[in-house]
Amino acid sequence: MKKLFLLILSVGIFMVSCTNKETESNSNPLLTEWDTPFKVPPFEKVELNHFVPAFEEAMKQHKAEMEVILSNTEEPTYENTIEASYYAGKLLGRVGTVFGTFNGVNISDELQVLAQEIYPKLSQHGDEIRLDPRYFEKIKFVYENKDKFNLNEEQLFLLENGYKGFIRSGAALPEDQKEILKKINQELSALTLQFSQNVLGEVNSFKLVVEDEADLAGLPNASIQAAKETAAADSIEGWVFTIQKPSMIPFLQYADNRELRKEIYDAYVNQGNHDDDKDNKEILAKILNLRVKRANLLGYENHAAYRTETRMAQNPERVFNLLNQLWEGILPKVKEERTALQAMIDMDGGDFKLEPHDWFYYTEKLRKEKYDLDESEVRPYFEIENVRQGIFTVAKKLYGITFEQIEGVPVPHTEATVYEVKEADGSHLGLFFMDMHPRASKSGGAWCGGFQDHYFTKDGKEVTPLVTNVCNFTRPSGDTPALLSVDEVSTMFHEFGHGLDGLFSESSYTEGSIAWDFVELPSQIMEHWAFEPEVLKMYAKHYETGEVIPDDLIKKLEASANFNQGFALTEVLAASLLDMKFHMMAEVDENLNVMDFEKKYMNEIGLIPEIYSRYRPTYFRHIMGGYDAGYYSYTWASVLDNDAFDAFKETDIVDQATAKSFRGNVLAMNGIKDDMEMYVAFRGREPQIEALLKSLGIEK
């Protein structure tokens, strides 16, 4: 998942009261010149009470910088309007970056309260700038006279997309409608934040406490030990399991106690659905209705039409065409999987029908029977440091770059590690941060962000990127290091792909225009390397013996690669379809019940009752973080990444010439060139769906 922490025109300012408020800039690390290595934010020096004065000063500077641009009586040009606005608000971007980072990996009750004040004000500030009629008039003039400014390809692309962005943000609306839009945006900012905070609260509050050791039957020793350590940390007798995936998934896969599997899975699929202070049903309904109002105000039939307009999909119909084609192809497969699991239950003498909380458990039993493969047999070869070095090795073979861990650089959290990334010739490329394990002060999931994008200063000095991967992988336990699951290995490669996208950027400014359904190509293509036999031999080594993963185990992994694929794709497609259906609402529905909506629609499309959508309405955080009417992007990008990886397979999976083309035509240009043009420049043609269908065993 891609997250952008750098805030330019979209950032805002807040004004709240705060005790011990500092006013002297020389005592506030956010307002002083950062003399840290590589200009990394001085995270360890920042305290919560630094943010109020920092944001106030940053807002003041940003407004003053923009006023110079907007009050300029000279004829608007690219340089004095577009480019000047890119350089405005640098301090605000820096402060926003640090605050956004804290809000992802250093969360506290105090920070969450502060965030509820900050983000609506940030939205307000951004609207005040974007919706200033003077700004739009200048942008419009430059756009309409673009032919006389001798713009290069990047500048022309940014100008055209920037102009469209202003129209889409309401800059051409009458003043009274602009005021309505501002209120909608502020309310959405507050509600989306509250939604995510509620989910985090649910994740942190649920504990499945096991007191009887007999109830641990079937679980791997590593899971039992981790649960014991979790219990001890909370001064609880027994073992504690949570709905964080490194704890929950092994429990669902291996615990023989069916009732406890049901308890933990029900807690997971009902996050935010409890009619208490963390309930998200009404919050989501308000968000969906506000998005309808905003779309209608901006001249769109629905939010899905608004969001897809600037993406590769272009409209909701093309999204549904892809999703429905795959849905029709995968439903027979998932029903076959259901039949096989039910047969195993019957064979074991189970007098019950398969239910959602049974799927993981019987899938593992069937995998063991069919392929003689138990995931606990594979985990010892996926020690996290070995996987990390394997990823770095692949990057070196493809692109010639190296990663060297360094010390003495500020980090957002003590668990984060930092690597200097160098080109093949030894020149500095950027820094890469990694924060790999779950904790209560950290959002769930996995994402890639940045503390600094690649750009050039006004005087032409190159600024190199600071990129971060944040994940929630299995922790070390006792004397056992962190041993990753197959899914976690895949996720690590995935987020690293986003990281390469940031490291290889050649943008001149910090602001680009990336089609959201293209953004997952750099990440998803990296997953293809993870389990290639040639790559596995590079990094999959037993953590105790150092033995390279044996050929017979690799063959088992290959043979089982498509096992349970019906379930995996059905989960994702159901979530993608639900997201799109929610955002196809063309009118406000004051009586909207999001759970009834989900149930009705899942029945309509034929989702089997033994499977839930990967994300149910009340904990679908992706659609709070940029993937609204966009969760389909993972599937859309699957067409691209399968087709693109075929280019490597047609030569060699570590072919440097192909990698050079992918880097130069896609990764370096992402956000500063049209997405289809980038892809065609790399592949020589537009993407084709055949490679994806083949990988899924679906006939076109």
Alpha-carbon distance of 330 to 565, in angstroms, equals 9
Over residues 562-587, the mean pLDDT reads 96
Tracing tokens 């189970």 back to the chain, one arrives at 350
pLDDT digits (tens, 9 = 90+) for 398-439: 999 999 999 999 999 999 999 999 999 999 999 999 999 999
**Where is average pLDDT lowest: 47-51, 271-275, 372-376, 571-575?**
372-376
What pLDDT is stored for residue 5 in this prediction?
Answer: 34
pLDDT of 700 strictly over 80: no
Whether the pLDDT of residue 655 is over 70: the answer is yes
Q: Are residues 213 and 117 in the same domain?
A: no
Same domain membership, residue 138 and residue 31: yes
What pLDDT does 14 receive?
27
Is pTM beyond 0.75? Reply is yes
Query: Are 38 and 154 within one domain?
Result: yes
User: Rounded to whole angstroms, how far apart are CA atoms 303 and 289?
Assistant: 10
254, 269, 284 - which closes a domain: 269
Domain membership of residue 49 (yes or no) is yes
Provide the 8-state DSSP code for 431. Answer: E
pLDDT (tens digit per residue) in 528-548: 999 999 999 999 999 999 999
Examine the fold and report which residue of 172, 193, 221 is the final residue of a domain before the chain moves on.
Answer: 172
131 and 215: one domain?
no
Residues 29 and 118 in one domain: yes
User: Total domain count for the chain?
Assistant: 2
Give the pLDDT band (50/70/90) at residue 231: very high
Whether the pLDDT of residue 18 is over 70: the answer is no
Contact criterion met (CB below 8 Å) for 242 and 203: yes
Cβ neighbourhood burial of 303 (10 Å; 0-12, 13-18, 19+): buried
pLDDT tens by residue, 521-530: 999 999 999 9
Looking at the structure, do residues 168 and 211 belong to the same domain, yes or no? Answer: no
Q: Is the residue at 343 inside a domain? A: no
Indicate whether 113 belongs to any domain.
Answer: yes
Q: Is the pLDDT of residue 247 over 70?
A: yes
What's the burial of 275, exposed, middle or buried (CB within 10 Å: 0-12/13-18/19+)? exposed
Q: What percent of the chain has pLDDT over 70?
A: 96
Q: Is the model's pLDDT at 688 over the cut of 70?
A: yes
Supply the CATH number for residue 141's domain.
1.10.1370.40
677 found inside a domain: no
Check residue 25 and give its pLDDT: 57
Mean pLDDT along residues 227-239: 96
CA dihedral 484, 490, 493, 498 (to 10 degrees): -120
499: tokens are: 């990281």
Would 157 be classed as within a structural domain? yes
* 154 and 235 housed in the same domain: no
Residues 96, 161 within the same domain: yes
Q: pLDDT (tens digit, 9 = 90+) per residue, 602-621?
A: 999 999 999 999 999 999 99
Please compute the mean of the pLDDT values over residues 654-673 and round it to a whole number: 96
Q: What is the pLDDT averaged over residues 667-672?
A: 94
pLDDT of 10: 36
Decide if 141 is inside a domain. Answer: yes
pLDDT score at 428: 98
Does the pLDDT value for residue 448 go beyond 70?
Answer: yes
Sorting pLDDT into bands at 50, 70 and 90, what band is 625?
Answer: confident
Residue 16 has pLDDT above 50, yes or no: no
| C-beta of residue 356 within 8 angstroms of C-beta of residue 611 | yes
Whether residues 45 and 104 share a domain: the answer is yes
Mean pLDDT of all residues in 33-58: 95
Residue 620, CB half-sphere, CA atoms under 13 Å: how many? 33
Does residue 95 sit in the same domain as residue 220?
no
> What's the longest Cα–Cα distance across the chain?
84
130-155 mean pLDDT: 96
Q: Which of 149, 172, 195 is the last residue of a domain?
A: 172
Q: pLDDT value at position 513?
A: 73
What is the 8-class DSSP label of residue 313? S
Residue 462, domain member (yes or no): no
Q: Is 69 within a domain?
A: yes
- In the predicted model, is pLDDT for residue 13 greater than 60? no
Q: Does the pLDDT value for residue 479 go beyond 60?
A: yes
Of 123-127, 279-283, 583-587, 590-594, give the lowest mean pLDDT range.
123-127
Token readout for 199 is 């989910």
What pLDDT, on the 0 to 100 scale, is given for residue 21?
Answer: 37
Range(s) of the domain holding residue 217: 206-269
Q: Which residue has the higher pLDDT, 264 or 24?
A: 264
Q: Decide if 218 contacts 254 (C-beta within 8 A).
A: yes
Q: Which two tokens stand for residue 105?
A: 């990996």
| Residues 53 and 114 occupy one common structural domain | yes
The average confidence (pLDDT) of the chain is 93
The residues carrying an active-site annotation are 495
Mean pLDDT of 41-61: 94
